[in-house]
Amino acid sequence: MSALQQFLSDDDTVVVTDTETTGIQARQHRVIEVAGMRISGDGSRSEFSELINPETTIPGRITRITGITTGMVFDRPTAQEVIPSFMDFLGDGVFVAHNIRFDWSFLNAELDRLGLPGMENRGLCTLKLARRLLPGLRSKSLGNLAKFYRIPGEGRHRAAKDVEITAKVLERFCEMAADEHDITDIHELMELQGRTYARVHAHAQHVVTIKRDRLPDLPRSPGVYYMLDGRKKVLYVGKAKDLSKRVASYFNAIEAHPPRIRQLIAKVRDVRWEEQPTELHALIEESQEIKRLDPSFNRAQKKYIPRPYLRLDSREPFPRLTVQVIMRNDGAEYYGPFRSRSQAASLLELIEASFPVRNCSPSEFERGRRCVRADIGRCGAPCTAEISEQAYEEVIDAVRRFLSGDIGEVTMQLEDSMLQAAESLDFEMAARYRDWIELLEKRLARGGAVAQEVAGPETIYFMRGSDIERPTLVVMAFGRVHLLAAPEDESGGDHLIRDAMHDLDHLDVTGSGITPVEADARRVLDHWLHVHQDRIVSVERRMDEPRPVFAERTTSMIEMYLKTTG
């Protein structure tokens, strides 16, 4: 049973109505379309929708808004036929409209022209309800309410579609009125629309206390905040670039928040926070704290999700690529991470289709038997010595270049193969080539490579600070994220970078590989790099480049970046 139906007794009926007109003055302009949805307490619904010939031309501005032209209404019935039919449809139901004064005045004006008595129905205005129930929402227009409640708005400014949206908005208002104001029937809802704001929204005492005692102490800096209940249990963990602004937003215009946030605020009794030097520090700390505390109101990032990688053990004479979830410190090359095992498997299938690499197991390789993949040209057949180790290493180097972002030749081959498959009516294979092309483009757009080598060259990322955030300096080394607190005034960068190099020289990277915590930090960093890609300078250490030289080159690059960005 819908929320609105619960508000209606067996004798109650509401008629949600909308009109389209030639202008905004009821006495001068005419109705060109009227629609209604009659909803009864027994759950039955019926609809009414008619275009009306206004016996005058429709202005161009109205056509641009509604899409209704003079030609569309030329052979339609006039108000003399439609309006009485609509009044029969309305009956004694409650007249519901968004901005009821507009539709009410136009229908009454048409009735007056026909010499018929005006409407005497009780009225319910969803615009008035929006002002009482959602005062924090900046615009209460029907279009904005549709966006707020995520109601599809295609086809708006036609009467039937606007009636549909208004009915859905009314359903949401019934839910809010029942949950927050203990209103249970349509008569109380009509009374609510006439209340003053103060009578509708008296803030709970705990909200008043938090706004008075806690919010003024919040700093304007990045950090992680914690929402606690009366027993000091953490309900929610979040991050903020500006703690003061972000946390205060929860306690302002509470009624305009989604239901889940309103439920959170109803339970919160205290707020605490921890400042962080940068937003990236806060992002990584938030992710780890959510997993550690498991707050009931957090939905995402609650578990360390193992991410798959492509593994290449170049110590083997003829190495193969495999999908691995656990990354070990075994000397092999790992590329990734990938969003899912299926994505990693799809990319591996693409590589095996584009490069003559072997995919057989060690035991199968030792048998020295030529396989089907070799027969169709998909493998160089190293098992039967048909390709030398040097030639095979060149194939592997091509795979490495492909993974680092050199996808031009492969993409051209895929596009040609897709067209050939489509011409041969092999649409399933054509779709597979299309999906591979889309996968490569998405991977390249997001990270600049199809798959980064996890333990690739050391790289430093730098982004200048703001009025509330210190500069961000990140060192990626041995597949791990090393966050450093840059100087407050962006001076002394060379000293900071040299300290970072010293720390890397003494870093212990032995062990079982990348831990789940380290992998999660890498995931957060990758997202941050993607979001801020236009504001970040990155410097990659060259092969065999001494760390002091790398530090000096990085310092120069950052100084140049700071000058050019003002």
Q: What does the block give as tokens for 457?
A: 């060259």
Helix 100-113 to helix 79-90 angle (10° resolution) is 120
Burial label for 193, CB within 10 Å (0-12, 13-18, 19+), is: buried
- DSSP string of 380-446, one letter each residue: --GGGTSS-HHHHHHHHHHHHHHHTT--HHHHHHHHHHHHHHHHTT-HHHHHHHHHHHHHHHHHHHH
Say what angle helices 408-423 and 427-447 make with each other, to 10 degrees: 160
b/e 28-58 (16+ beta carbons within 10 angstroms → b): ebbbbbbbbbbbbbeeeeeebbbbbbbeeeb
Residue 334 structure tokens: 């790992």
Q: Tell me, yes or no, if 203 is annotated catalytic.
A: no
Instruction: Give, for 95, the enclosing helix (H) or strand (E).
Output: strand 94-97
Buried b (16+ CB within 10 A) or exposed e, 101-129: ebbbbbbebbbeeeeeeeeebebbbbbbb
Q: Which of 29, 98, 157, 495 is catalytic?
A: 157
In the Cβ-directed half-sphere of 293, how many Cα atoms lie within 13 Å? 23
What gap in Å lies between CA 251 and CA 211, rounded to an integer? 7
Q: Residue 321 belongs to what H/E stretch?
A: strand 321-324
Residue 294 burial (CB count, 10 A)? 12
Neighbours of 95 (CB within 10 A): 22
509 strand-pairing partners: none
Q: Which residue has the tokens 């870093």?
A: 507
Q: How many residues does the chain have?
A: 566
Active-site annotation, residues? 157
